[in-house]
Amino acid sequence: MTERFLHGRTALVTGSTSGIGLAIARDLAAHGARVAVNGLGTPEQIEVAVQSVRAAGAPDVRHFDADLRDPERIEAMMAEIGAWSGSAGPGIDVLVNNAGIQHAVPLAQMPVQKWNDILAINLSSAFHTMRLAMPGMAERGYGRVVNIASVHGLVASKDKAPYVASKFGIVGLSKVAALEYATAGSRDSGGVTVNCICPGWVETPLIEPQIQARRNGGSREDGVRSLLGEKQPSLRMSLPEDIAATAVWLCRREAHNITGTSVAIDGGWTAQ
């Protein structure tokens, strides 16, 4: 039986209508959290995501729409979540900044609008949610910020200038916030911590075409090993549920002194 240690807590997971974000939202729900879902999709896709989080065990779940490129819309969403959670302010106990986009072309060919959008969604939106949520966490003596960065927040790859810049940026932002809130709360209350998870290859539907393109007549596993061979020594992908389990573990009271860290889940990529 899953320990519902997040009972009475409110969580926001951005970019949680699919993939890693949805897996995290479900796992937080399974451990008792009320979950605010945020992300894109058709009304049908959003409803499926909400229902799956509810089925995982959330005492309450709701989708909150916001264009994460727009600070005013983020502020409105945070206020709506605060009212929904029964708090006078943004009553978010667990904040997972997962939303992200990418566009891969050489630096000189990168459209300026793509640079602006990627930095806004991948980095600036996290700044805005954190600045609005963290004072309340400090007042309550418990808070968890888990920023889903990337292995590209630790090492670079060509043709991904704005993505790499945004992920290095969120690692740095997390360290600053961790230092500023390090003394909030106590060991008993759980404190306020800020950490990054830095995944390497994660098995989501978005990368299936790349796997198939690498099969060369072999099995799907051959395709995976070929795709990962250049950078991920384990030659196996993580599952979204693996990332989710790590995020939830960081929310435990026992993790009160784990802050300002970047947890690489990369099969040895950054050990090379």
Looking at residue 87, what is its pLDDT? 54
Average pLDDT over residues 216-229: 94
Helix (H, G, I), strand (E, B) or coil at 249: helix
List pLDDT tens digits, range 19-30: 999 999 999 999
pTM of the complete model: 0.96
Contacting residues for 135 by C-beta, under 8 A, at least 6 apart: 89
Please report, for the chain, the start and end positions of each structural domain, with discontinuous segments joined by +. 10-202+239-265, 207-237
What are the DSSP calls for 211-241, one per residue?
A: HHHT-TTS-HHHHHHHHHTTT-TT--PBPHH
pLDDT at 206: 82
pLDDT of 68 over the 50 cut: yes
**Residue 26 confidence (pLDDT):** 98
Measured in degrees and rounded to the nearest 5, phi and psi for residue 37 equal -90, 140
**Distance between CA 264 and CA 237 in Å, rounded?**
13
pLDDT-based confidence at residue 205 (cuts at 50, 70, 90): confident
Strands (E) across 103-182 are located at 142-148
Mean pLDDT across 54-66: 97
Across 1-15, 138-152, 234-248, 250-264, least confident range: 1-15
pLDDT in tens, 93-147: 999 999 999 999 999 999 999 999 999 999 999 999 999 999 999 999 999 999 9
Using alpha carbons, list the distances in angstroms from residue 4 to 57, 96, 184, 228, 251.
9, 18, 24, 36, 12
Instruction: Return the structure tokens found at 118.
Output: 């990627």
Please state the rounded mean pLDDT for residues 73-96: 87
Q: What is the share, in percent, of the chain residues with pLDDT greater than 90?
A: 94
Q: Candidates 1.20.930.40, 3.40.50.720, 3.40.50.300, 3.30.950.10; correct CATH number of 10-202+239-265?
A: 3.40.50.720
In whole numbers, what is the pLDDT of the chain averaged over residues? 96
pLDDT of res. 92: 97
| Rg of the chain, C-alpha, whole Å | 18
Residues recognised as catalytic: 163
Q: What is the pLDDT of residues 148-160, one digit of tens each?
A: 999 999 999 999 9
Confidence class for position 88, pLDDT limits 50, 70, 90: very low
CB 258 within 8 A of CB 190: no
